[in-house]
Amino acid sequence: MSMLRRREALWFYLFASPWIIGFVVFLLGPMIASVYISLTDWDSFTAPKWVGLDNYVRLLTDDPIFWKALWNTFYYAAVSVPLGLVIGLWLANLLNKGVRLRKLFRTLIYLPTLVPLVATAMIFKMVLAPSGPLNDALGLFGIPGPSWLLESVWVKPALILLSVWGAGGATVLLLAAMKGIPRELYEAAEVDGAGPVRQFWSITVPQLTPIIFFNLIMGLIGAFQVFSQVYILTKGGPDNASQTMVPLLFNEAFSFYHMGYASAISWLLFAVILVFTLIAFRTARRWVFYETEVK
Amino acid sequence: MAIDRTDLTRRGFLGMGVAAGIITLTACGSDSDKKSSGGGGGAADLVMTVWGGDTDKTTYQQRIDALVKKFPELKVKLQLIPGDGYAQKVQTMIAGGKGPDIMQVAENVNVYSSKNQIMPLDDLAKKAGLDLEQRFGSIGKIYSYQDKVYAIPDRSGAMIVYYNKGLFDAKGIKPPTADWTWDDALSAFKELTIPGKQWGYGGGGWWAQWWSFVYQNGGKIIDDAGKPAVATDEVIEALQWTGDLVFKHGVVPTPKQFADMGADVGADGAFANGKLAVNTTGFWGISGLAKSKIDWNIAPLWRGKEQAVTAFGSGLAISRTAKNPEAAFKAIEFLTSPEAQQKIIATGEDVPASIEVQKSNAFLKPAWMTKPVDMNVFAESSAFVYRAPFIPAWNEMQKAFDDGLADFWLGKKDARTSLTAIQKRLESIVKPAS
């Protein structure tokens, strides 16, 4: 190898080093450590005790709360992610229609994502009160509203409602992508006699699939890791009906001092997210369309 | 050859990175040596961690200032950590080898003592000639684990009854006393309730409240052998009585009714708004009521078969990593002495643990008190504080109760079913001290 190449390599590592060091020290190192910790019984104070796969076995066979939390997390992800995408797409499509005051609406729709989650959650606590504004509104249609945060059946839908509140984040990305779709495609379709609905499904949606895919992956990861909403609104209650994976592992680690057990939970969560992301990527070949790609 | 070299560099680089990662993970351990100070000669730099808000900060600082004035060789750095994050912060400090010298502990004291993170203080106390029972009364050894004392009481106030004098007078009902029985309490609550508008009592859903009734009824949460004992008739009866106040007698707001009062409005807030005739909570209720328009006073908790009431408080402990335990103890000894404890009531922070101060005029008639409140109630209640089970798995035990009683407090399950299930869960959580 030439002198030049070697020097180039050296410079490469030098410039990349802040990132590499950050990655190794703050991500890879702790990750490796947590694999080890997950195989021990460790209270964070005294020396860890090696227990092999005990933590995993106990989680999977002997911990009803873990399974409840896993189910809750699936439920939350399975409903909140698609719902957020559909609403985001719908809003983006509305904004793309050249309505008046579009910029104002765009700002308003994006605004909720800028409000700190803690503040939003506090407001939702009031909105979702048994005789709160939401139930008052439902009452106008003759629907008796439930006590959202107090009943085990309704607490998950309540959390999903809160997640939909942040759909504006996806809207902005989708709207930007919509603007990038070449007008000629629509003109050609119109000449061929396609109505607005047909245009939406045959041009807009296929052209947006890369962005939808991106939002799907990020949404899935975010939903599986949901924490603050649960922690502030319900603390996982009533009786773990809204307990999800990350608050569960937070409790185990920092409230019950079971670091090993918590690490095992985090690796199982990692596996779950990995599987779902892989499934999304696998199926992506069938429905995500890249312009540069020839099929 | 050249290719090999680049390969090596790359691998070497990654290896260095991994090493760096592991070093940072472990290095925290050795870091703390730096700030050790000359241990000899009694001079010491001490770090003290406490939780709380502004009043707490002022009060602790005032007490430390008094300490340093008297013992100039001691330097104490106060670290106040907001309540929510205290346990996690201290946990990481200790795990990182930078544990505080003096730390505030409360119900969770035995998380630390059982894991050998704080020191037994019996010998130090003996050396300093400190008689805990004489200074603090029955709660002197409340922070013990396996017959050793791990923290010196610092703040300690019983749960007390706050009652709305206006509502009581209007109905011609005599104020609550320590001699009220459960039946007396219930009949007063009934008279003071206007359905949907005003309630006799704020309820006993918090452990400090319904556990008091359990101990009044002769029950125990953890028995003397260290085993959970919550599925016994005494406990079941007490819990059922507490629950019946809500759903059978309607003298306590339901969770729904509380939620409708606003985000995070609990019994304390509802009482201040005049919606409750009686509320049971700690000393802090007094400052919460300073701005309230209602006319209120305090009384000791009523009784069941026996007298019993929960006490809230905290103690000061010395961490295992403290460089100079003698100096740390000297500081604690002074901070819990009547001289320093007076400041706890002077700022209105809390009830000082010192019995002498509790009975002093400074406590009975604090300068900031604008209403004729019967402060003697605290000293009176101190006589029947029960010994709550501060087990190492305290947090897990509380979670088991939260989960297991969720349906009970909604009126969907009875006390027996709920407690039988909780007993099973507690048996797997609580390992009796060997």
The model's pLDDT over B184-204, given as tens digits with 9 standing for 90+, comes to 999 999 999 999 889 999 999
The pLDDT value recorded for residue B281 is 94
Long-range CB contact pairs, B211-215, < 8 A, 24+: B211/B310, B211/B388, B212/B159, B212/B280, B212/B301, B212/B308, B212/B309, B212/B310, B212/B386, B213/B182, B213/B238, B213/B239, B213/B241, B213/B242, B213/B304, B214/B238, B214/B239, B215/B306, B215/B308, B215/B386
Give the integer Cα–Cα distance in Å for B302 and B179: 6
Cα–Cα distance list, B214 to B13, B219, B306, B391 (Å): 63, 5, 10, 17
Residue of B9, B21, B264 with shortest CB distance to A29: B21
Cα–Cα distance list, B251 to B107, B200, B219 (Å): 30, 5, 24
The pLDDT value recorded for residue B22 is 45
Residue of A29, A45, A122 with shortest CB distance to B94: A45
Residue of B95, B115, B402 with shortest CB distance to A237: B402
Give the integer Cα–Cα distance in Å for B299 and A70: 47
Residues ≥6 apart with Cβ < 8 Å to B259: A129, A130, A147, A149, A150
pLDDT greater than 60 at residue B14: no
Closest CA to B414 of B215, B253, B246: B246
- Band (pLDDT 50/70/90 cuts) for residue A1 is low
- Band (pLDDT 50/70/90 cuts) for residue A294 is low
CA dihedral B432, A69, A266, A284 (to 10 degrees): 170
DSSP B101-164: SEEEE-TTHHHHHHTT-B---HHHHHHHT--HHHHHGGGTT-SEETTEE--EEEEEEE-EEEEE
Nearest residue on chain B to A257, alpha-carbon basis: B111
The pLDDT value recorded for residue B316 is 95
pLDDT greater than 50 at residue B20: no
Q: How far is B158 from chain A (nearest CA, A)?
A: 25
Mutation site for B-interface testing, chosen from A254, A258, A259 by largest number of B Cβ within 10 Å: A254
A240 touches chain B (CB under 8 A): yes
The pLDDT value recorded for residue B43 is 67
More confident residue, B431 or A148: A148
pLDDT greater than 60 at residue B16: no
Interface contact flag, A29 B256, Cβ < 8 Å? no
| B237-257 confidence digits (pLDDT tens) | 999 999 999 999 999 999 888
The pLDDT value recorded for residue A139 is 87
The pLDDT value recorded for residue B68 is 92
B19 touches chain A (CB under 8 A): no
Task: Tell me the three state secondary structure of residue B261.
Answer: coil
Pick the CATH number of B160-309+393-429 from 2.40.160.210, 3.40.190.10, 1.10.3720.10, 1.20.140.10: 3.40.190.10
A136 touches chain B (CB under 8 A): no
- Asked if the domains B37-157+311-382 and B160-309+393-429 are classified in one and the same CATH topology, the answer is yes
pLDDT greater than 60 at residue B30: no
Determine contact, residues A159/A153, Cβ cutoff 8 Å.
no
Q: How far is B20 from chain A (nearest CA, A)?
A: 7
Q: What is the ipTM of this complex?
A: 0.80
Q: Which residues of B touch A29 (CB under 8 A)?
A: 18, 20-22, 24-25
User: Residue B319 is which amino acid?
Assistant: S
pLDDT greater than 70 at residue B340: yes
Q: Which two tokens stand for residue B161?
A: 């009854």
- Band (pLDDT 50/70/90 cuts) for residue B432 is low
Helix (H) or strand (E) holding A30, with range, is helix A29-38
Mutation site for A-interface testing, chosen from B5, B7, B10, B24 by largest number of A Cβ within 10 Å: B24
Residues 47-86 on A with a CB inside 8 Å of B are 65
Cα–Cα distance list, A88 to A158, A181, A289 (Å): 19, 17, 19
| B312-332 confidence digits (pLDDT tens) | 999 999 998 888 999 999 999
Q: Which two tokens stand for residue A201?
A: 């499904």
More confident residue, A179 or B44: A179
Give the integer Cα–Cα distance in Å for B245 and B418: 17
Residues 399-428 on B with a CB inside 8 Å of A are 399, 402-404, 406-407, 410
**Pairing, β A49-50 against β A40-41:** antiparallel
Residue of A46, A235, A256 with shortest CB distance to B395: A256
Residue-range domain boundaries for chain B: 37-157+311-382, 160-309+393-429
- Band (pLDDT 50/70/90 cuts) for residue B290 is confident
Closest CA to A68 of A164, A165, A162, A155: A155
Nearest residue on chain B to A20, alpha-carbon basis: B17
Q: Which of A18-22, A136-140, B17-21 has the lowest mean pLDDT?
A: B17-21
Instruction: Calculate mean pLDDT across residues A40-64.
Output: 90
pLDDT greater than 60 at residue B21: no
| A13-38 confidence digits (pLDDT tens) | 999 999 999 999 999 999 999 999 99
| Topology at the third CATH level for domain B37-157+311-382 | D-Maltodextrin-Binding Protein; domain 2 (3.40.190)
The pLDDT value recorded for residue A46 is 85
Cis peptide before A238 (omega within 30 of 0): yes
| Average pLDDT score, chain A | 89
Q: Enumerate domains of chain A plus CATH numbers.
A: 63-287 (1.10.3720.10)
Residues 143-172 on A with a CB inside 8 Å of B are 147, 149-152
Strand partners, B297: B163
pLDDT greater than 90 at residue B226: no
Q: Which two tokens stand for residue A224?
A: 């599986």
The pLDDT value recorded for residue A144 is 84
Burial A35-60 (b: 16+ CB within 10 A, else e): eebbbbbbbbbeeeeebeebbbeebe
- Band (pLDDT 50/70/90 cuts) for residue B368 is confident
Nearest residue on chain B to A64, alpha-carbon basis: B425
Instruction: Please return the burial class of B429, using the count of CB atoms within 10 Å of its CB with bins 0-12, 13-18 and 19+.
Output: middle
Cα–Cα distance list, B295 to B176, B178, B261 (Å): 15, 20, 21
Q: How far is B362 from chain A (nearest CA, A)?
A: 38
The pLDDT value recorded for residue A128 is 87
pLDDT greater than 50 at residue B29: no
